[in-house]
Amino acid sequence: MTEKTPIIDVKDLRIRYGAHEAVHGVSFSIVRNEIFSIIGPAQSGKTSILRCLNRTLDFVANVTVSGSVCIDNDDVLKARDVFGLRRKIGMVAPLPVGLPLSIYENVAFAPRCSGLNAKDELDALVEKCLKQAALWYEVKDRLNSLGTALSGGQQQRLTIARALSHQPDILCLDEFSIAIDPVTTMRIEDVLKELKHEITIILVTNLTQQARRLADHTMFLWKGGIVEIDRTEVMFSEMPARRETYEYVNGIFG
């Protein structure tokens, strides 16, 4: 797919929930500092793959994972320092889940847990993350207000700021715009375009046009398998490699 060295390299990944195999031996790679989108109908395995990257599938009963998932050449499936792994991978869920803390402490929470307690350093990091999430200028005068009192779109941007607070190498977003308005969605999309110069972004979305606007490469999943992976402009052209891709991105099925 690319000559660049991948930051993520997945080979023959299979994910089973009990007897049901949700992901069927997929292999793909993602290079550093790109936006990589994963599209496909519901139950295609998109979220399962994301949760495999930072080992949050570990919290699900009766899950079996095989294959290899390497980040910077280290297989995360064999990682012993799972907490260190999760610090490298920021995760944003479909619905904003704010901590019952102030706006400031929502962002400072993870750095504090990692041992950062110097106020000047925390102040600078909180400001940086809120600016990266395009939220700073809306909340800078009320940082001690409760984060959960923000609007839905602001809470989602606060979630992004919190995900960035431990300075991850990779940011995963799972249907981040499902519960926010189109204006806020476009603001976050602009944020992601800027962030990709600093980190690698994986975007799971059911909005094919969002993938078209943002992604450098796109992977189309269907029924747990890969239909096609290519540069996004090819996937959304009149001549992708597979007819199923053309039909899905043009809304003919799915």
Q: Which of 93, 14, 9 is nearest to 49 (CA)?
A: 14
Establish if 169 belongs to a structural domain. yes
Establish if 72 belongs to a structural domain. yes
Given a contact cutoff of 8 angstroms between Cβ atoms, the answer to whether 65 and 10 are in contact is no
9 - beta bridge partners?
29, 70
Establish if 254 belongs to a structural domain. no
pLDDT digits (tens, 9 = 90+) for 41-83: 999 999 999 999 989 998 999 999 999 999 998 999 988 888 8
pLDDT attached to residue 99: 84
Establish if 33 belongs to a structural domain. yes
Highest mean pLDDT (candidates 1-5, 115-119, 120-124): 120-124
182 vs 81: CA distance, rounded Å: 39
pLDDT at 38 over 60: yes
pLDDT at 2 over 70: no
Establish if 216 belongs to a structural domain. yes
Half-sphere exposure of 160 (CA within 13 A, CB side): 30
Highest mean pLDDT (candidates 10-14, 149-153, 247-251): 10-14
Dihedral sign computed on CA atoms, order 105, 92, 6, 233: negative
The model's confidence at residue 205, banded by pLDDT at 50, 70 and 90, is very high
The model's confidence at residue 1, banded by pLDDT at 50, 70 and 90, is very low
Establish if 1 belongs to a structural domain. no
Range of the domain at 242: 6-249
Question: C-alpha angle 103/106/46, rounded to 5°?
Answer: 120
Question: How many separate domains does the chain show?
Answer: 1
Highest mean pLDDT (candidates 76-85, 181-190, 200-209): 200-209
38 vs 47: CA distance, rounded Å: 9
Q: Which DSSP letter does residue 57 get?
A: G
Would you give the distance in Å from CA 173 to the centre of its chain? 3
Q: Where are the alpha helices (DSSP H) in 74-207?
A: 82-88, 103-113, 119-132, 136-139, 152-164, 182-195
Q: What is the CATH number of the domain that holds 57?
A: 3.40.50.300
Residue 75 structure tokens: 């297989």
The model's confidence at residue 152, banded by pLDDT at 50, 70 and 90, is confident
